[in-house]
Amino acid sequence: MTDITNPVARRAFVTGLGVGAAALSAGLASRATAEEKTAPAASAPHWQPAMDAQDDWMELPGRHRLVFDAISPKGAGGALTFTRNYLDANKDGYGIEPTDLATIVVLRASATAFGYNDAIWAKYGTIMGTMLEVTDPDTKKAPLRNPHNPAPGAKPDPDAADIPALVARGVHFAICGAATHHVAGTLAKKTGGKAAGIYAELAANLIPNAHLVPAGIVAVNRAQERGYAFSYAG
């Protein structure tokens, strides 16, 4: 055993303690650094979409949310039929009333014109019918009314897959503003009118429960960010 009463031995002992403590401290620091490098990174905050006020109309009351996306004349008809079937199945299978379902139909691209009312179709139906290659389902001629509205004088059918019946059941529509500009430009060329004026006319004559949005694809995005499930209609 070392005699630490001896001054020389005592200095050597104390020095040894210092060296040991320094080595221990260095070892602990190295271990801490290694653990920091291998430790999982702190989880980043969960991303949340921004809620723009102009989309607040999408906050419809309902136990479930679904948005249908239509981009063609055929898709527009399909979206209306699918919507009717969706509402019926929830009623028959779950006892859920249509008013307890938040349902939106987006009409964009070549389906956009079906978001305009009968007044627009009466004025521009011949041109739009040619553009879209659609005819009146009853007369088989150029449509002078929205093809998805009942014929004049027809008895309303609450179970139909037409616009008035779905509006009565609480369905809302998003109409593409970008495509409406395109339609306005085409109509202006065909009639010699002003595109800006025709655009304003179209925007003022939408079907009921319709909302003119900057672009239909944006409405598809915003609806999903607000919790709507998505269904593509064609």
C-alpha count within 13 angstroms, C-beta hemisphere, residue 100 = 8
Tell me the CB-side half-sphere exposure of residue 103, using CA atoms within 13 A: 23
| pLDDT score for 103 | 98
Let me know if 205 is exposed, middle or buried by CB neighbors in 10 A (0-12, 13-18, 19+).
middle
148 close to 186: Cβ distance less than 8 angstroms: no
Weakly modelled stretches of the chain, pLDDT under 70: 1-42
Determine contact, residues 129/114, Cβ cutoff 8 Å. Answer: no
pLDDT confidence of residue 45: 85
Residue 37's pLDDT is 53
pLDDT of residue 117: 98
The dihedral sign for the CA sequence 89, 91, 97, 100: negative
Under 8 Å between Cβ of 135 and 129: yes
Torsion angle in degrees (nearest 10) through CA of 150, 96, 76, 108: 120
Q: Is the pTM of this model over 0.85?
A: no
Instruction: Give the model's pLDDT for residue 38.
Output: 53
- 179 CB-contact burial (10 Å; exposed 0-12 / middle 13-18 / buried 19+): buried
pLDDT of residue 49: 95
Provide the 8-state DSSP code for 128. H
**What's residue 89's pLDDT?**
98
Distance CA 86, CA 103 (A): 9
Vertex 207, ends 159 and 175: CA angle to 5°? 110
Q: What distance in Å separates the CA atoms of residue 149 and residue 210, rounded to the nearest whole number?
A: 14
Q: Which pLDDT score, from 0 to 100, does residue 186 have?
A: 98
Average pLDDT, the chain: 88
